[in-house]
Amino acid sequence: MDDVSFFMLGYGQPKATDKCLESIRQSYPKEKIIVFENGTDVLKAVCKKHNATYFHQHKNYQQYVKGKGFKHVGMWSMNDFAMFIDQHQMVCELTNTKWLVYLESDCFLRRRFKYFPKASVGGIMHFFNVFRKDIQDSINHFRVDNQKRKYIFSFAGGSIVNRVDLLKVCESDWRKHIQYAIDKNETYNSIHNRKFVCDIRCRDAMLSYLFYVNELEIEDWEEVTEYKWDSEPKTIFAAIIHDYKRHYE
């Protein structure tokens, strides 16, 4: 069994996607790559070029909606969350590796991975990506063991996840967990007279939330870096770079 497979949730950016997949194939010529193109229709030829399994989803279920008060792309209905979970579950079922690496078109791989996390997920743990109090309380509502006063979300491009644990999350009662967080967010907004959109409508935050709810942990992974936020030696030696937008159009 191979150690690692790759998957991408794609949206446009054929040139950047081509460069990303090319970098993967230079180090992993035969490992499985799965690409879901959501909302656009420009990546099929790129996937064929790099021997990546391709799926097309007509709807971009992660999108920016003007007037929602949320600067990031988001999932705005339970159906959006369901499409998201279904794609991740499909990745788990179509692969047999211990680890899955999540790609975005602004990822670039420099070499094979040498180190793997001890936790269920390895990613970039930015100090500013701390869940607000409503999500913290929602996580602790479901966690039986090891409740915390601070949870940092990760899961951006270049993150790595244990396949079995991801499948566990996909098969959990995620609708109940998500609805609880959305309701808690609305309650906090009402009490404190605020208009914050629920954090977990964003992909990386939502998956992090579900992993924490299921008593699974996330750690900072030495093999992924972002030049904008990291410093040496990580920026020099990490295997994969995220937020590498040189080929964006």
pLDDT per position as a tens digit, 169-224: 999 999 999 999 999 999 988 998 888 888 898 889 999 999 999 999 999 999 99
For residue 201, give the CATH number of its domain.
3.90.550.10
CB within 8 Å of 192: residues ≥ 6 apart: none
CB within 8 Å of 162: residues ≥ 6 apart: 98, 99, 100, 120, 121
Closest CA to 49 of 25, 27, 65, 68: 25
Q: Which domain, by its residues, includes 29?
A: 4-241
pTM: 0.93
Decide if 248 is inside a domain: no
Decide if 20 is inside a domain: yes
pLDDT per position as a tens digit, 86-100: 999 999 999 999 999
Decide if 249 is inside a domain: no
Closest CA to 11 of 41, 32, 44: 41
Decide if 75 is inside a domain: yes
Domain count, the chain: 1
Phi/psi at 166 (nearest 5 deg)? -65, -40
Decide if 171 is inside a domain: yes
